[in-house]
Structure 1
Amino acid sequence: MISVSQLFIYPIKSTKGIALKRANTVNGGFEYDRILMISEPNGTFITARQFPELLKLKTEIVNNIVHISLPSTKSISINLDDFSNTIEPTQVWGNHFVSHIASIKVNQFFSQFLKKDVQLRWVGNELSRRTKRYPEVPVSFADGYPYLLLNEASLAYLQQQCPEKLDISQFRGNIIIKGALPFAEDGWKTIKIGGVIFDIVKPCTRCVMTTINVNSTNYLNNNEPLTTLGYFRTDEQGKIDFGMNMIARNYGEISINDPVEVLERQVAKNYINCFPFENNKPTQFYTITVEDKTIKGNNQQTILEQLEQHNIQLPYSCRAGICGHCLVKLKEGEIIAKTQTAIKNNNQILACSCIPKGNITIERLKK
């Protein structure tokens, strides 16, 4: 029998999750899930992609009071009623909406922790954000959809292939299930858990967040598990998927051990099987020139990784060929593309997904 094995909420986006025995579906997702978010002063979201230390923050919610603890044992309590009455422009992955800003004292607390000027924001009682594909569905500060389903058997299959030790919490799921075959969820369209019906709307595209050890906040070796996932979970657009995004049709409570009933099925998404990607050539050394700097490179690592090792920084967000932030112009030389979407028009390439094939010269793009 397929059933629920774990439930999680993440009151503050990108911080440590809270395991629950039962959870209520409400507007925007589970009650209290991702209702708070740390942002730039202009409202642009900040996550553990840029600041992995956020994963060390612990939260607890009691009677509308959010208790937040830092690794240093320093803590603060926030009443949701204390946020500003005014609404301010906010942005998550290009999705524009409005939210409420915390007090100066609260913002200073987080700014001191991150050593950066930031704000804490609350979605408010009336959610103004909507999903892009389903404009009638409200969503909180989650990346894209209110619920994320993960399958323990799918993780077990991935772990068999992946050299790094994995933890399901790396994938930030809300509903974890057991009793299904690996990746059976790919073929589900509508499911029922308890009294709640969920529509599975799309596979979840994964990014660099999955490569962070949630306990140490260190990155795993070799960009794992994205590297291994890329061998057998890459679609025709070069996106790497794991888990399923869902929306709920109704309100209700779901609990640990609730059965999962598949009401409707669909044709599973097609993935390119390139397992394993092998660069069979022996290590060769080349030069990588970035404007006025030249470094010693090789034919084994991505351009982004090699630049970072020489303290040359490029912007990035996903490290999986999705976000496009590490786009550079290839002025001279040839590269090997790890994904079909790594090469763009006008000799532009994604540094996170390309490996030098010889001496290369690249140029940062002006933003």
Structure 2
Amino acid sequence: MPDFSNNNLVLGGLVACAVGVLGISYIFLRRDRRNFTQVGVVSKLFIHPIKSCRGLEVSQAECNALGIKSDGVMDRSFLIIDGNKDSVSRIRQPSLALVVPTLSDDMQSLLINASGMPTLTVPLISDLRGRVFNSRVLGLGVQGEDCGEAASEWFSQYLGKPRYRLICYSTKCSDKILQNDRKWGSKSKHGEKGMFQNLAHLHLLSETSLINLNSKLDQQLHYDNFRPNIVVEGSTAFSEDKWKYVRIGDEVHLRTTHKCARCPQTTVDPNTGKFMETKEPLKTLRTYRMATPDDPDQKTYGANPVFGTNLAVESFGFIKLGDPVYASMI
């Protein structure tokens, strides 16, 4: 009787290879249809190690499956939670704007400082962490590994309440699946995951958009009011609204998921750690930056004005200051 087992294995292998080739070809064909033109250059890069705390301005960064990182520090890879395990942002604790994380000289630890507080040293990689906490960011479940009692005491003292803890993303934690987000999950693709970012891998803003906004304000705002990862110089104000795909340099491909809806966190003065009495920039943004009826996401944005864009990382690689930025509107 003939032995078909080897033939079946060969046939199965050929089918799998064909499917793989077709899949890769489809991806490249889709990319070939994208019409990229240069829209500017990278003028600033920011990594925000601890969600809602001060960011680090860097000269280069790596885009990967979880977002963006520099010198081994991932953006939004640390999160502060309260005694109920709820995540804590500047909306609840505006003084977090004055918490400044920096990298140690050996790049093995975060050094966390704030006025009147001793320096807190938190190893980026530690075998001493153990307990994994469940929390939520904008309603989406996340997990983080505890950074220890010293970190808990530091943040509890600084914020003036007990039982605060600092947690970090680690290999012990379950991934945050972006498709599970009830509002914006449909904008993500299967397998895309993140850490403690709100809705996407990273956030982009053009310099001219901030200049345009500041021209309408008495008090000038900073990038820290909006906390972008990538700032683009050379484009026209709000042109990023129309960028469906973004390529930076030769390696990194990004996909715009949706425009960034702005909340009261933008009204925290990063120099004082207090809410601005003017309620800016939201007051002014609502006069000219509300989603229009032709925007399919208008209802989802609700009463929130839009400013900047959220993006997913489609292909990995390094970016640096001065890199050309290309955009495709299709």
Q: TM-score normalized by structure 2?
A: 0.76
Uncovered stretches (5+) of structure 2, i.e. residues with no partner? 1-38, 292-297
Residue 127 of structure 1: CA displacement? 5.3
SS, match of residue 223 in structure 1? coil
Counterpart in the other structure of 1:249: 314
Distance in structure 2 (CA, Å) of the matches to 1:127 and 1:4:
33
Q: Return 5+ residue gaps in structure 1 as ranges.
A: 267-367
**Alpha-carbon distance in structure 2 between the residues aligned to 1:83 and 1:124:** 12
- Asked if 1 retains the 8 angstrom alpha-carbon contact of 2:194 and 2:201, the reply is yes
Report if aligned partners of 1:5, 1:178 keep a CA contact under 8 Å in 2: yes
1:188 aligned residue (230, 243, 252): 243
State which drifts further: 176-185 or 120-129. 120-129
Task: Measure the CA separation in 1 of the matches of 2:116 and 2:305.
Answer: 36
Name the SS of the counterpart of 2:143 in structure 1. Answer: strand
Structure 1 position 130 matched with structure 2 position 194: no
CA deviation profile, 1:19-61 (whole Å, cap 9, x unmatched): 0000111332112211101001332100111111111111123
Q: 1:89 to 1:73 in 2, by over 3 A?
A: closer
Q: Distance in 2 between matches of 1:87 and 1:18?
A: 26
User: How much has 1:87 moved relative to structure 2?
Assistant: 2.4
Whether contact under 8 Å (2:89, 2:96) holds in the other structure is yes
Aligned 1:96-175 pairs, distance under 5 A: 96-116=141-161, 117-125=163-171, 128-131=175-178, 132=181, 133=185, 134=188, 135-175=190-230
Q: How big is the shift at 1:10?
A: 0.7
2:126 to 69, 74, 81: 81
Structure 1: distance between partners of 2:256 and 2:165: 33
Distance of 1:33 and 1:83 partners within structure 2:
22
Deviation per CA, 1:173-228, whole angstroms, max 9, x where unpaired? 00001100111111110010121000011000101111111112232232111011
Counterpart-to-counterpart distance in 1, 2:319 and 2:150: 36
Please state which structure has a larger fraction of its residues in helix. 2
What is the distance in 2 between the residues matched to 1:83 and 1:238? 44
Q: Match for residue 198 of structure 1?
A: 254
Count matched residues: 265
Deviation at 1:86, TM superposition (A): 3.8
Distance 1:82 1:70, change over 3 A: farther
TM-superposition CA deviations, 1:228-262 (whole Å, max 9, x none): 10011112432211010001112211000100011
1:55 aligns with 2:97: yes
Deviating runs (4+, > 4 A) in structure 1? Answer: none
Conserved? CA contact 1:127–1:140, under 8 Å:
no
Identity between Structure 1 and Structure 2 (%): 26
Counterpart amino acid of 2:308? Answer: G
Letter in 2 for 1:265: M
Contact 2:206-2:308 at 8 Å conserved across structures: yes
Aligned to 2:68: 30
Q: Does 1:45 align with 2:96?
A: no
SS of residue in 2 equivalent to 1:7: strand
- Distance between the aligned counterparts of 1:167 and 1:105, measured in 2? 32
Displacement of 1:158 after TM fit? Answer: 1.1
Which structure is higher in RCO with an 8 Å CA cutoff and minimum separation 6? 2
Contact 2:82 2:88 in 1 (8 A): yes
Shift of 1:83: 5.3
Q: Please say if 1:94 is aligned against 2:139.
A: yes
Corresponding residue for residue 2 of structure 1: 40
- State how far apart, in whole Å, the 2-side matches of 1:161 and 1:248 are: 33
Deviation at 1:82, TM superposition (A): 4.5
Q: Which residue identity lines up with residue 213 of structure 1 in the other structure?
A: D
Contact 2:142/2:195 (<8 A) preserved: no
Find the counterpart in structure 2 of residue 71 from structure 1: 115
Give the 3 Å change call, closer, same or farther, for CA 40–73 of structure 1 in structure 2.
closer
1:90 CA displacement: 1.4
**1:111-156 Cα deviation digits (max 9, x unpaired):** 1111112111111135511213225211111122110001111111
**Pairing 1:168-317 to 2, within 5 Å after superposition:** 168-194=223-249, 195-235=251-291, 236=298, 237-262=302-327, 264-266=328-330
Distance 2:81 2:215 in 1: 37
Q: What one-letter code is carried by the residue in structure 2 that aligns with 1:257?
A: G
Partner SS for 1:162? coil
- What is the aligned partner in structure 1 of residue 54 from structure 2? 16
Cα distance in 2 for residues equivalent to 1:187 and 1:83: 46
